[in-house]
Amino acid sequence: MGNYVVSVDNSKGKTQELSIGTIIVATGGKEYKPKDLFQYKKENKNVITQLELEQLLKEKGKSWLDGIKRITTILCVNARQIEGITYCSNICCGNSIKNIGLLKKLKPDLELIVLYRDLQMAKKRYEDYYRERRKDAIFLRYDLDNLPIVKRKSKSSEKYEVKLYDTNLQDFLEFETDLIVLSTPMVPSDNLMDLAKMLKVPLDKNGFFLEAHVKLRPLDFATEGIFLCGCAQWPKNVQDTISQANGAAGRASRFLSAKEITTSGIVAEVNPINCIGCGKCESICPYNAIDLLESIKDFEDVSLVTKKSFINSALCKGCGTCAATCPNGAISIKQYDFEQITAMIESFLLET
């Protein structure tokens, strides 16, 4: 479908070229690291993110909680802002409350406090966590205008002082805590701009990949033969990621299993004699169906290497943008070239 050539460096340091028909973009996402926010620094070991909390529990287990009596979780850290990260990651609140339940099971006498702005619960499982949340923790609400203030009690101590304005109580509260867990948003993976340029697919304003149509083609790019899934498109939980991955695999296999692809007869074609290889058609094509390929022309016993436009008819939608842009009239649309259009106009005028 796409006729891609992919170069892969194997473990032996050799480059192997593969002919690829379809591509699935599944680059995932990563947890945002809130540098210098709420005392999140390298030297402050007891200010961590949700992912770091899960990693510590996995590596050290219950013993890691020895000496910790109170844990404070802060939701929406540097998320849903007026500037910067403006979106909601959808999974942070549910993941945080899930971890609170896990901590309470590991150490029932643990005091848990949650500082939240709003609670976004997707999926029935997370709704159950939400309904039972108050049996495990105390929930205090803050707003964007009055962010919580976190201070380290002393340089030799890992205890922290927290001060906030509770919008429910309409009053200031102060308390100490042994550990602070920050719920940060999911952000796009690194170097996606380079990949987007390589594949000729768009990114949205937040840096995630943009699908062709949110309702009609949620798994496709506008470029034929490339599909996307998971957190490459937007932050998702595991269940939604798996569901979309199955959909993307199904879309790709639909084209790979077909022996022939039937396209519309109304596609663009290039007259190589008139083409001067300026590249305007390639840059303007919304479907990335045009490439500039090297062409060898013999002229007076001298071989000249020039570039000519090549149109992939399987990708072309016959919109006519390239034909209108070509300065030399080298591109026309099948069934709608200039002579045919002129004949249609003349026949219409004769009838009227």
Q: Which domains does the chain have, with CATH numbers?
A: 4-28+190-256 (3.50.50.60), 30-186 (3.50.50.60), 268-351 (3.30.70.3270)
Q: Classify burial at 44, counting beta carbons within 10 Å of its beta carbon; exposed 0-12, middle 13-18, buried 19 or more.
A: middle
Q: What is the pLDDT of residue 178?
A: 95
Q: What is the pLDDT of residue 154?
A: 83
Q: What is the pLDDT of residue 217?
A: 92
Task: For 44-198, list the strands marked E by DSSP.
Answer: 47-49, 70-74, 111-116, 138-141, 149-152, 160-166, 171-177, 179-182, 186-188
Burial profile 279-297: b = 16 or more Cβ within 10 angstroms, e = fewer = ebbbeebebbbbbbeeeee
Q: Classify burial at 103, counting beta carbons within 10 Å of its beta carbon; exposed 0-12, middle 13-18, buried 19 or more.
A: buried
Q: What is the pLDDT of residue 206?
A: 94
Cα–Cα distance measured from residue 293 to residue 281, given in angstroms and rounded to the nearest whole number? 13
Please indicate, yes or no, whether the overall pTM of this predicted structure exceeds 0.95: no
Q: What is the pLDDT of residue 298?
A: 54
Splitting the chain (352 residues) into consecutive groups of 10 residues, what average pLDDT does each group show? 82 87 94 92 91 94 91 95 89 91 92 94 79 86 94 86 94 96 96 92 94 92 90 93 96 87 84 90 87 71 73 86 91 84 88 72
Place of tokens 């290497």: 305
Q: Classify burial at 121, counting beta carbons within 10 Å of its beta carbon; exposed 0-12, middle 13-18, buried 19 or more.
A: middle
Q: Classify burial at 8, counting beta carbons within 10 Å of its beta carbon; exposed 0-12, middle 13-18, buried 19 or more.
A: exposed
Helix (H) or strand (E) holding 146: none
Q: What is the pLDDT of residue 303?
A: 54
All residues at 6 or more sequence positions from 233 whose CB lies less than 8 Å from its CB, including other chains: 208, 209, 211, 244
Q: What is the pLDDT of residue 258?
A: 83
